Each structure stands twice: as structure tokens, then as C-alpha cells.
Structure 1
Amino acid sequence: MTALPGIALDDWGARAQSFAFRGHAIRYWAAGAQDAEPLLLIHGFPTASWDWHRLWRPLAQKYRLIACDMLGFGYSAKPRGHAYSLLEQADLQQALLQHLGVDGAVHVLAHDYGDSVAQELLARHHEGRIRLAGCVFLNGGLFPETHRPVLVQKLLLGPLGPLLGRLFGRRQLATNFARLFGPQTQPDAAELDAFWQLIAHNQGPRVMHRLIRYMPERRRLRQRWLAAMQRGGVPLRLIDGAFDPISGAHMLARYRQLIPAADTVSLEGIGHYPQCEAPELVLEHYLAFCQALASRAASDARG
């Protein structure tokens, strides 16, 4: 299905490092040369940084890669009574960069829930709290009005959310992912097993109803994030799996309406997880974006 072989989950887990964020253990991964430009990879809901495993090796040849499982996800801590927040997850990303001694401009590649975290980082860039060199979004709820959550996401927000989370299992994950992935790019059993292992780790389903509160938080922060995207100054690109029922072609169309000189790529037949379904295309379009940035910077330097 792909020319990029990826990394087995056991091998991925063995490469993890840890640091403490507000008393919670966070697992993170780093690769590439220390003097290379830093690239922060931000995963989505309900999975984890292993989502990037097919892109990890090729991107590490050019960048200093940094990725963590955010609080409540993957191999990181999943505190039960925690009030999870996208703003706190942005704090976490900045804390990780500080932990690693990264203080220059950072490239960002984000997906799904991670898009919202990246939008907050973009707003903070304009406030002088972080420096971004460029930001590329994959499928995600960039605009609440175009986000079409699946039924389980809606139910998790309701009064039965805690019970639904406890009952959520691999079978339900497979059913939902079958709808989200493209018809020709469905995950195989081994990939589904890995996704589920990361979600189930440390009783993760018991906090899903708390993590899902990102959806109303997105609505509250819409104007702040939209203004940051419309302001310019940080090059942006959207690489979107058009088949995705949650944030596919309809979201890309809205992006073109709202973002000046919108730079977009539509991946036909690809669903919600383009980095898993068509990693070679994501890599091609991401590197082309970065090459354009480098060419522009070189031209500016020549005057």
C-alpha cells in the first residue's frame, strides 16, 4: 500500500524518552541532527505520535524531529479527573521544546486535534511567545462550522460519555476507522491493533469523555485562531484527504474561502489519516512546501 515502511509499534515505544510536565510523565521522541531545523509533529484524537511513523525516517534526514504523546494520549500519563484543554496541550508543546533546548523558529506539521494545538501556537507566535517558521495542517477541525464529528464523538460529550468511554473497544475503533479511511487505503489488522494498543494503554478509554471537550473549546477559540491564520507572516499549507467525512473536501473549500492566498493540496480518495494512508504523498507535498520556503528565504537574502 505504501513505499514507506514505517516503524513497528514495539520499536517505536522502545525509542521513547520521558520528561515531566506539571507532574505528569510525558513520552516523547526525537530524531535527526541537533543542528537541523526543528520540526514539531503534533498528533490527533484519539491516537498518538506513532501516527507519524511512516514519515519519521525520511523527515529525520532533513529536520530535527520532535513529537510527544500529548497528555491523555498514547504512552503519556492519562490522569482520570483532569480538565484536559487544547491550551494546556500547547503549553506542553512549548515545555517540550524548552526541555530540549529549542529556542529558534520551529516548523510544525499537525493533524486533527493537533491542528487546534498548532492554531494556538500560531496565535502565540503573533503574541511573541514562540517563533514558527511554517505550519502545515492535515485533516482536522480548523473551523468548527465545517467539523462533522462521528456519532461516538457526539455521544462522548453527552451525559453517557463516561460509560461510553469504558465500553469503547477495538471493534468500535475498527468500525469508526473504516468510515474515516479511504476505500482503497483501509488500515490492516496489525495497524488497527497498534492504534488500539495506544488508546487502551493506561486505561485510556476512561478519559476519552474528558479529552473530547476539545470540541466546544474549539468553538470558543474560533475567532482567535482564525485571526491568527488570516494575519499572515507564517507560511501555511493544508494537505487534505478529500474523502474524509469529518474534515475532507468540504473543510478544504471553507479554508479557501477564509484564508488569504490559500495554499492547499487535495488528496483524492484519501480519508482522515493521510499520513497513514498516503504517507509518500504527504511527504512529497510537505517537502515541496518547505523547499518553497527555503527558496523564498534565499531570494530575500540576496535582496
Structure 2
Amino acid sequence: MTALAGIALDEWRERAQVFDFRGHAIRYWTAGAQDAEPLLLIHGFPTASWDWHRLWQPLSERYRLIACDMLGFGYSAKPRGHAYSLLEQADLQQALLAHLGVDGGVHLLAHDYGDSVAQELLARHHEGRLHLASGVFLNGGLFPETHRPVLVQKLLLSPLGPLVGRLFNRQKLAANFARIFGPRTQPSGAELDDFWHLIAHNDGPAVMHRLIRYMPERRRQRERWLAAMQQGAVPLRLIDGAFDPISGAHMLARYRELIPAPDTVSLEGIGHYPQTEAPELVLAHYLDFRKDLEAAA
């Protein structure tokens, strides 16, 4: 399979557009034909939409791609003292779709923190508040009982959180990513530089202890989100890096227990970031999922 070259971070930043969300500047990206089916890509914590850069070009040849750096992430605003919320991030995604005039069936591709935002959007679909056509999850804490946060996440949530965030640096990022990436798919030094740049931009570490409050919010929303996933009306697939200590094989096993007729893919030896560790595999399994949807239509 041909390797996916991706997009350099400087070029990615130059392609950004901006819109206002409740007084905050949000950077977003679009690609593909305006009349193609919309595909909303939702990134994870603590990185940003550049996570999708290796999939961006091949997916844009088929779909209308939409992605933003959520509030508190990447090149978007990172307001101090803000009560960050997964529900607000779902509001942001809906506001972006409205800004772009997207009102038809939207497909979702989400990772990590973005999985929780996608779960909220799925619940809203069943409440009649938007129209989703499908959803694909990559590694994330879909079920609080199977999420195994790393130490720095636990510390960020503690009373030491503000200090821990401010002390977070590229070296600590590298150490954490070394544990959660697959043994043969570790990020390069250049990739770590770019990930760190996105986190550090606009003093991002100063809000990390506020962003991490998504972890208890997941617990509060568990039953509502699980019910939405179990309804079955929206086709779902889980593509999971099995090596991931946070939400790998153990989370996939729980998914198979809880979700009726589960559609799952296990990527052996791949860690928490399959879209950057094994983008060719993620692309192939995503396109297979969409091909099956088209065949069933």
C-alpha cells in the first residue's frame, strides 16, 4: 500500500480559515467538492486537527471534509478561566456546520476526546437536533469504566492541575507518547516538535487542567451516550489500535460487549494514534466501511 505523505504543519496552518464561536476565534479547514457527502473529522486531546493530515488528501478526493481545532486546542482560541465542556465542543461542531451551510446527513470520523464529542452529537441526532449518516471512532474513552488515563491526566485533574499543566513540556510529551504509541510506530522527533507546537501555541499548557475536566463529564453522560450508541439507527464502526494502554484492546472488548452487532477493527501493534501511526490501514478500513454503507443503501 502506498504511504500517505501528509501535509507539513506550516502548510496546514496557511490553509486555515476562521469563524467566530461565542466571541472566540476558531480555526477550521475544509477540502473536497462542495456537493460531496460531508465528513466531519473531530480530533483528540491534547493535539489538534493536524492529526488528520495524512488522511486529508485521499479523503478529500471522495468527501467534503470539515475539521476544526476545538476551543482550547491547536490554533483556536484558548481562553483562560473558561469552563471547557464536551457539550460546548459539540455546540461548536454544530455551529461550524451551520456556518458552512451543511444541513444534510453528516458522517463523523473521531478520535480520543473527539469520540466523546461524537457521542454527544449522536445523542443529539436521536433527539432530532441534527442529522448524522454514520460514525467511525478511533481510540478513545467511549466507556468511562474502560478508560485508563495516564499519570499526567490524573495529575491535571487533581488540585495540582494548574501547576502540572504549566510544567508540561516537549520532553514530557515525548515520554507520554512513547508509552501510548505502538513499539514500531513511534513518532519522529519532527512529529513531536509539531505536536508540541500545537499544544504550546498561545500558552496552551495554561488551560490543560481545565480541558481535562472532560473525564468526569464522560462519567456523567455515560448512560445517555451509551443509549445513543445502542439504538443502531446510525451505522457505527470502531477502528482501534490494540496496543494502546489507554483505550486499546480492553476498550474494544467492552465495545463488543455493549454494542449490538458491533462493527470493529483491531489494529495489532498500533497504539493510541492510529491515524498517524498507521494511516494507510485507517484509510482502507474507513473506505471499506463507507463502501458497505453504499452497498446497503
TM-score by length of 2: 0.99
Whole-angstrom distance in 2 between the partners of 1:218 and 1:156? 16
Aligned residue pairs, count = 297
2:65 corresponds in structure 1 to 65
Q: Which digits, 9 at most, give the CA deviation of each residue in 1:116-169, with x for residues without a partner?
A: 000000000001111111000000000000000000000000011000100100
* 1:232 lines up with 2:220 in the alignment: no
Alignment-mate amino acid for residue 41 of structure 2: L
Whole-angstrom distance in 1 between the partners of 2:43 and 2:86? 12
In the alignment, structure 2 segments of 5+ residues that lack a partner are none
Whole-angstrom distance in 2 between the partners of 1:173 and 1:99? 34
CA RMSD of aligned residues (A): 0.8
1:27 corresponds in structure 2 to 27
Structure 1 runs (4+) greater than 4 angstroms displaced: none
Equivalent residue runs for 1:1-303 within 5 Å? 3-297=3-297
Whole-angstrom distance in 2 between the partners of 1:203 and 1:271? 27
Q: Which digits, 9 at most, give the CA deviation of each residue in 1:188-211, with x for residues without a partner?
A: 000000000000000000000000
1:301 corresponds in structure 2 to none
Whole-angstrom distance in 2 between the partners of 1:204 and 1:94? 24
* 2:54 alignment partner, SS class: helix
* 1:65 alignment partner, SS class: strand
Report if the CA contact (8 A) 1:32-1:61 is conserved.
yes
CA drift of 1:25 comes to 0.2
In the alignment, structure 1 segments of 5+ residues that lack a partner are 298-303
Whole-angstrom distance in 1 between the partners of 2:153 and 2:147? 11
* 2:243 alignment partner, SS class: coil
Q: Which digits, 9 at most, give the CA deviation of each residue in 1:52-108, with x for residues without a partner?
A: 000000000000000000000000000001000000000000000000000000000
Report if the CA contact (8 A) 1:2-1:279 is conserved.
no
TM-score by length of 1: 0.97
Alignment-mate amino acid for residue 137 of structure 2: F
Name the % identity.
Answer: 84
Report if the CA contact (8 A) 1:241-1:248 is conserved.
yes
Report if the CA contact (8 A) 1:135-1:235 is conserved.
yes
Whole-angstrom distance in 1 between the partners of 2:207 and 2:106? 30
* 2:240 alignment partner, SS class: strand
Whole-angstrom distance in 2 between the partners of 1:258 and 1:124? 20
Q: Which digits, 9 at most, give the CA deviation of each residue in 1:2-53, with x for residues without a partner?
A: 7000000000000000000000000000000000000000000000000000
Report if the CA contact (8 A) 1:2-1:278 is conserved.
no
Whole-angstrom distance in 2 between the partners of 1:34 and 1:249? 37
Alpha-carbon spacing, 1:2–1:213, altered in 2? closer, same or farther (3 Å): farther
